[in-house]
Each structure stands twice: as structure tokens, then as C-alpha cells.
Amino acid sequence: MSSGVVAKRYAVALFQLAKEQQSLEQTEAELRVVKQVFSSNQDLQAVLTNPKISVVKKKELITAAFSAFSKHVLNTLYLLVDRHRETVAVAMADQFIELANEERGIAEAKVYSVRPLTEEEKVNLSSAFAKKVGKSSLRIENIVDSSIIGGVKIRIGNRIYDGSIHGKLQRLERELIK
């Protein structure tokens, strides 16, 4: 069974539990931290996937790292360790976040700009582009990228809206070459 399918199963189970307990926001926030910790800490991944380290020690490590988290998130992480599925923790968190966003009608968007966007600009972009993708709002992650020269480039799922000067110059170049 592929890791994507496995991650989705754990995410769906945790999502249903969080909805029943009315702790969707808290669980999502905790899983965002789990994702960030697992993604940025390769040593943690190495320890958790090491077969020489006992399951008990791995669970103690998870307890120490995520002690402030809800029992549902901790139990899910323990279950991943018990079943030797530690490697799907990040994918499971991604799947959960996707389910939570779908429930609320929100989409994740990466906005590339030359400078950090103000809150007002983020709100304006969210309201303008959310309608285009059929969502009520966007959760915007602003990425500063000086190579786009000016304007913005927005990525929502697999859609890209390129209003950057760099993108316009590339399109112009392709037109001139034709």
C-alpha cells in the first residue's frame, strides 16, 4: 500500500475524531507543528526510523517533544510508531490540513512577491482569488522572491496565476521567438 494512501487513512480517522470532539482548529495547529518539526529535523526522522531503537524509547521521545499536544494527536503519533509508519507523519499532517481546509472552504495559496505583503494586500488577494477557485477564502503564505522583479505570482493547488514582471517578460520573449 502506498504511503499516500496510508497517510490519508490516518488523516481521515484523526479528522473524524477532531470533528466529533469539536477540536478541528486545535488539531490542525498541532499537526502543522508536527509537520514543521518532522520536516526540519532529519535527526528525529533518523531516530524514529532506526530499527535498533525500541518502540518504547521512540514513544518517550515523541512524548517529550510533543507533551503539550492533545491526546488524539499523541495517540496517532504513537500508532504510527507502533506500526512502523513514522515516515508518513508529514504526509498525514498534509492530508489532515487539506481535509480541514475543505471542510471550511479554504484553500492554501503561496504568493510570491518582491517584498512582504501587508495584511490589507493579503486580504485583497484572498477575496479576489478565492472566488476564482471556488473557495470562501485563502490562507496565504507570502514568499519574498526578488527574481520576479515586480508584481505577484500566486500558486493555489496546481494553478498558477503569474502577474509578475518576470513572467510577463518570459511570455513576451516566447511571443517574439515565434
CATH of the domain at 95: 1.10.520.20
Owning domain of residue 8 = 3-101
Q: Is the pLDDT of residue 83 over 70?
A: yes
- Say if residue 115 is in the same domain as residue 161: yes
Mean pLDDT of all residues in 148-162? 92
Give pLDDT, residue 46.
87
C-alpha pair distances (Å), 94 with each of 35, 48, 72, 122, 169: 8, 19, 17, 23, 34
What DSSP element (H or E) covers 131? helix 119-132
pLDDT for 2 beyond 80: no
Residues 131 and 89 both lie in one domain:
no
Buried b (16+ CB within 10 A) or exposed e, 151-167: ebbbbbeeeebbebebb
* Domain end position, chosen among 61, 83, 101: 101
- Of 54, 71, 101, which residue sits at a domain end? 101
Whether residues 92 and 36 fall in one domain:
yes
pLDDT tens-place string over residues 8-35? 999 999 999 999 999 999 999 999 999 9
Per-residue pLDDT at 112: 95
Shared-domain flag, residues 73 and 96: yes
Judge if 96 and 10 occupy the same domain.
Answer: yes
On whether both 20 and 87 belong to a single domain, the answer is yes
- 50 phi/psi in degrees, rounded to 5: -75, 120
pLDDT at res. 1: 58
How many distinct structural domains can be found in the chain?
2
Q: Tell me what pLDDT residue 62 has.
A: 92
46 with 21, same domain: the answer is: yes
